[in-house]
Structures are given as C-alpha cells and as structure tokens.
Structure 1
Amino acid sequence: MVSLASDELIYYLNGGDDEELFSLADSVRGNVFGREVYLRAIVEFSNVCNKKCNYCGLRAPNSNINRYRMDVDSIVASACQAAEAGARTIVLQSGDDFSYSTLQIEEIIRRIKDSYDVAVTLSLGDRSIGEYEHWFNCGADRCLIKLETTAPDIYAKIRCGEKFHDRITLLRSVQEIGYEVGSGIIVGLPDYSVEQLADDLIFLAGLELDMIAAGPFVPHPETPFSSSTEGDINLSFRFTALARLLSPFSNIPATSALDSFDPEGRAKGLLRGCNVIMPSVTPVARRGDYNIYPGKNSISVDVTDTISRAEELIRSLDFVPSATKGSVRRMNNVE
C-alpha cells in the first residue's frame, strides 16, 4: 500500500503528474495481479426500480423507458450461456425491484452454482440483511453495494433524502456475513469538488473493500441532472489509479462508462491500474433498456460474442483473460 496524504491526492487528482501516477498504478497492479485481467459477466435482469435517484435513468419517475423483468429461467439461461462462453463470475444485477422473492433469488443462485463452477455476485440494492445472509448460505459469493458518494449530505441530495448511514450499515453487514464486497462512487457528480474526491478515496480505502468501482458521471436526459455538466474521464482515470495505490489488493474495474467518453476508455483504464472488465450479457432484446446512462450497453451482440470481444480486448493489451474466479488477493504482499 502506498501512503498518500490528502494534499497529495488532490495534487494527482488535479493532474499534477499523470505520467507518474498512471505508471505507479500500473506497476502496483502488475505486482499484485501479474498479467491477469478478470472478466465479470453481468445479467441485468430487471430495470424496474422503486428508487428516485437524481442521476439514474432507471429512476421510478422515468416513464420514458421500456420496463422489463426477466423470468427465473431466462436469468439462469443467460448466466449459464456466459459461463459456457468462459466467464468465471456472474453478476446478477437489477434495479431495486422487490417483485423477486427471496426464494426466487435463491433458486437462481443454486441453479447457476449447480451447473457451473463460477462465483455469483449480487447487485440487488437495499434488500434486507436477512435476505443477504440467506443468499450467502445458498452459495452467493460477492455483493456490490455502491455508495456513489461518501458525503452524507450529497448522498441525501442525489438519492432523494435517503440516509448514508443506512447504506453503510448494509455494506458493513454484508461484509460481516462473509461476502466479498464491492462499492464505489461516481466521479464528477454536480457541484462535486476535487477535495471531496480525495475524501472519497480515503473513506473507501478504510472500508477494506474487495472491489472498488468508479466511473465518470454521464447525465441522463430523463433525470433532474439532465442539464448538468458531464464528468471528466481523465479525473476518473486518476481516481481509479489512486484507488489502486491506496487499495492494492482490491479488484478495480475499468467501467463501461469510460467507453461512453472514449472508444478506448476501458482499454486505457486497464493500462492505468484497473484489472477487471464487466461486459453485459443481458439478452440483446433487453440490453439497451438497462439505460442507467446514455451509451450504456450500446453494443448488442450475443453472449458468446460479448465474452469473445472482452477477451480480445484483454489480449490486445498483452494481458491474459484470467481462468480463475478472481477472488480478492488481500493476503498477498506487494513487493
């Protein structure tokens, strides 16, 4: 772990020395992960959401969206197709959609795990602690609880009055259950300062997360933030590079939002400290409707081609698509 004070973080976030920062991040990534890049296949099985978050295109008040829910068989089929194509981690992701019962999610987890030797990650939002514990006991391995900001006042603003304390309580509870836990923030939210981003980095490092995600803010036209200035991709690269220095063992994805700014965005992210990519394997007919931000899931090819393209990207950078599930390497030492 590299020790960086707040003023040093701000220096790098402001572009003080990108060449040095990105080189350091790439070196640390290489020391921990070698040439391996992990591939997480995401099944976005429902875009129905009961939340009103001001930044997200899936927000409940948005009536200009084609809502969908996949049934259990379709979810399992998509996951198994991805596993058959080579994915070793399946991410089950939805809006906050409580129409899926505890037992339905259990069935999905068990059927995937019974069919393939893969890790299953849950990204289901504010479900109860009891449900998350039950699903862990059914075989779920990982859990994503995004924060989007670590400032309680900004959290309340962007999530329409919800409490940051409640979200952190959920995150820490799933850690205690035994999940590998991921979280992260959005870089470039309206009225956000570089100083707050430095605070985010320090806060996230203190959580000892197994995954840290950060992508640039992309305004969605059907949200209250529609006219806000979009995020800065270079600031996003700097954030994830600094996250790599502060949390060397954490898995850090090059997010799909990067490609909304630059066709080579994810590739550049992998060369600047990231070690994960997360392609969508949602059925093509539904993929474009999981429209959190404009440009997400803009490429619609079948599951096999999706995985193949992801592996080609990894190899084109002289990296190796990992054949492992990509569990955290926290116990390793960086030389």
Structure 2
Amino acid sequence: MINSNESNGLKELIDKLKEARCLSKEEWTWLIAGRTPELSEYLFALAREERHQYYRHDVYVRGLIEFTNYCRNDCLYCGIRKSNQNASRYRLTEEEILSCCRMGYELGFRTFVLQGGEDAYFTDDKIAHLVHCIKDLYPDCAVTLSLGERSYESYKRFFDAGADRYLLRHETYNSAHYAKLHPASLSAAKRQQCLWNLKEIGYQVGTGFMVGSPYQTPENLAEDMLFIHELNPHMVGIGPFIPHHDTPFADKASGTLELTLFMLGLIRLMLPKVLLPATTALGTIHPNGREQGILAGANVVMPNLSPTAVRKDYSLYDNKICTGDEAAECRNCLERRMESIGYQVVTARGDSLNV
C-alpha cells in the first residue's frame, strides 16, 4: 500500500506529464511501479480529454490481412517461431490478398495492414508489386506494412511503390531484456535502427512493446517510454504478453489488462496526437478489453480481413479472438462495441496527427 503523500506525489507526476510530455527514467519507474486503481482512473480521464481534443470520439478501423505465418526468426514468445513444428503454415497468394482488400473496401476500410512473419518467399519484388497493385486499385487507401526487419533499401523500395506506413514494434528497448526474449541472431540495436531508417525514408511509423513480457521490470517500461518519446512515432501499438503453448514461454504468466491500460493512458498523455490501437490481445485477455482500451485513450481498432480458413493458423499467442468470424462480422461487432461506450467507428484513412 502507498500512503497519501506518495499518492499525491504520483498524481503530481501525471500532471507533470500532461504539461511537459515526458518524465525522467526515475519518475517513469516510480509512476509505473506505484500505480493504483484510483491513480489509473485519474490518468484515464486526462487521457480521454487529450484524445477527444484531437480525434473527438472517432475510432479508426484498419483492415488486418495476415498473409503469411512462415517466419525465419525464433523469438521465444511467438507461436509462429521457426522452431514450432506444430504450426500449420500458409501463404496467401497475391490474388487472395487482393480479394481481402476488395472485400475490405466494400466494408468501408480505407487502410489495409499487410502483416506476416519474416518470410523469404515474399521477396522485395513480390512485396513492391503487391503494394503497387493495391495502390493502383484503391488510390484513396493507405497501405501499412508489418513485415519485420528489412534493409534500408528494401524499406525504400516499398515506400517508392506506394506503402504509406510501417509497423515494427521494438518489443523492449533494453538490450539485456531483449536478449532474454529473442535468439542471439536478433538485437535491440538493429531493430531500433530499422525504426530510425523507416522515419528517415518518410513512412508514418509505428512502434510498440509487449506489456508484462517475461523478466520485464518497471525500469524496462520506463526505458520504453523514453525511447518512444525520442522516436516520436505516428503510431504506438502495445498489448499484453500472452503465452503460446508451443513456445519456451508456455508456462509464463500473461501480462495484465490493468498494466496495459495504464501504459496506454501514459502514452496518450506523452504523445497526445499519436494513433493508439486497442489491440486484439486486449480483447483476448478480457471480454471488454478493447472497449477499456478506448476509454484509456486508444483510438484505433484492427479487425481481421484474413480468410477465415487461415486465421486460426496466425497464432502468435493462445486463445486469440475472432478467428472464426467473417470480416463483416468483425466490422459490425466492433461498431456495436464502440457505440456501446459512446464512440463511433469511422471509414477514413485516419492519418496520424503526430507529424
């Protein structure tokens, strides 16, 4: 239990964050470690004010197309890691991907997110051609890529083909913590450099981290916040760590809804104009997780446009929701859920105001 003086001190830190837009590592750590339900409610009220000032009560939808679950990497937390021999692998054809876009466009989506494992089959030529086709067919839409780590030249080529945005979670800023979650072939420094490269090229850039990942400390989260403040991205995607039964972290505890919501509120106060999703993982750990995410300051949801036949196979973590729903079901369900808490799903590209 924290005493009243400490509680007042933490509340003052939230006020300071609202004014200064950043804190020191020590202040971030104290605030995150000392959070209480009362402090969270105070934070969320301020976060909603900021969100409403710039984005009103609008919720942007992104059409997520998970087009391959092959991956060359062996991240210890991920269900589609290379070493998982039980994964049922698939790749969508270009025709299947374009069919997802066509269906999504008819449902009102104006952003398509192409997400996949780091799959060598999808060469730069294939990705650039695919992006060009989508932009040619739907010039009023944004194309977001989430393909992991690529070279500067690859990123530039996709951008020149018409890609607008790129999502690449840094996962955790701290290099020692990063090494506990990933094989030795991957490094925090390289991943962070990819983000700087993407910004330099001109993408609208999204980063983010897992909340409650194994071995994570409040100090790690403080470093994540400092990195995000420095990077100043257009989007920040965070979600709770959820274990997958076919990974080395199968027996690790999940991240909590409570801490994830608190971090969402902090990010909204730090970067009031940023795009901030209420993720599928939030909805997985709590039936109303996405609604609570919106009420904590988020303003984006990402329903799935992938063919229902493969959705269950894009299994990054256990018990993922909406794997059996048709795209229209997902869209309509989210619309009703957002309306139930006083928000409205809008059909717009929804570009970030954090420029």
TM surpasses 0.5: yes
Q: Give SS of 1:182's match.
A: strand
Q: Provide the C-alpha distance between the structure 1 equivalents of 2:44 and 2:246, rounded to a whole number of angstroms.
A: 35
* Aligned-pair identity (%): 36
Q: CA RMSD in A?
A: 1.4
Partner in structure 2 of residue 99 of structure 1: 121
| Partner of residue 163 from structure 1, selected from 187, 191, 212 | 187
| Partner of residue 15 from structure 1, selected from 31, 35, 46 | 35
Q: Provide the C-alpha distance between the structure 1 equivalents of 2:219 and 2:187, rounded to a whole number of angstroms.
A: 22
Partner in structure 1 of residue 6 of structure 2: none
Partner in structure 1 of residue 131 of structure 2: 109
Q: Give SS of 1:24's match.
A: helix
Q: Provide the C-alpha distance between the structure 1 equivalents of 2:124 and 2:150, rounded to a whole number of angstroms.
A: 9
Structure 2 unaligned residues grouped into runs of 5+: 1-17
Amino acid at match of 2:50: V
Partner in structure 1 of residue 198 of structure 2: 174
1:240 paired with 2:240, answer no
Partner in structure 1 of residue 10 of structure 2: none
| Partner of residue 87 from structure 1, selected from 96, 109, 129 | 109
Q: What TM-score do the two structures reach when normalised by structure 1?
A: 0.95
Partner in structure 1 of residue 8 of structure 2: none
Count of matched residue positions in the alignment of Structure 1 and Structure 2: 331
Q: Provide the C-alpha distance between the structure 1 equivalents of 2:19 and 2:299, rounded to a whole number of angstroms.
A: 18
Q: Which runs of 4+ in 1 moved over 3 A?
A: 6-12
Q: What TM-score do the two structures reach when normalised by structure 2?
A: 0.90
User: Once the 2 structures are TM-superposed, how far is the Cα of residue 220 of structure 1 from its aligned partner?
Assistant: 1.0
| Partner of residue 62 from structure 1, selected from 73, 84, 89 | 84
Structure richer in helix, relative to its length: 2
1:132 paired with 2:155, answer yes
Q: How does 1:3-82 map to 2 (within 5 A)?
A: 3=20, 4-5=22-23, 6-13=25-32, 14-16=34-36, 17-82=39-104
Structure 1 unaligned residues grouped into runs of 5+: none
Q: Give SS of 1:43's match.
A: strand
Verify the 8 A CA contact 1:290 1:297 in the aligned structure 2: no
Q: Provide the C-alpha distance between the structure 1 equivalents of 2:293 and 2:89, rounded to a whole number of angstroms.
A: 31
Amino acid at match of 1:329: L
Partner in structure 1 of residue 304 of structure 2: 280
Q: Give SS of 1:150's match.
A: coil
CA deviations over 1:27-64 (Å, ceiling 9, x no partner): 11111111111111110000000100001001000011
Verify the 8 A CA contact 1:183 1:213 in the aligned structure 2: yes
Amino acid at match of 1:277: V
Closer/same/farther in 2, CA of residues 154 and 292 from structure 1, 3 Å limit: same
Q: Provide the C-alpha distance between the structure 1 equivalents of 2:61 and 2:19, rounded to a whole number of angstroms.
A: 26
Considering only CA atoms, is the larger Rg found in Structure 1 or Structure 2? 2
Worse-matched range after superposition: 280-289 or 291-300: 291-300
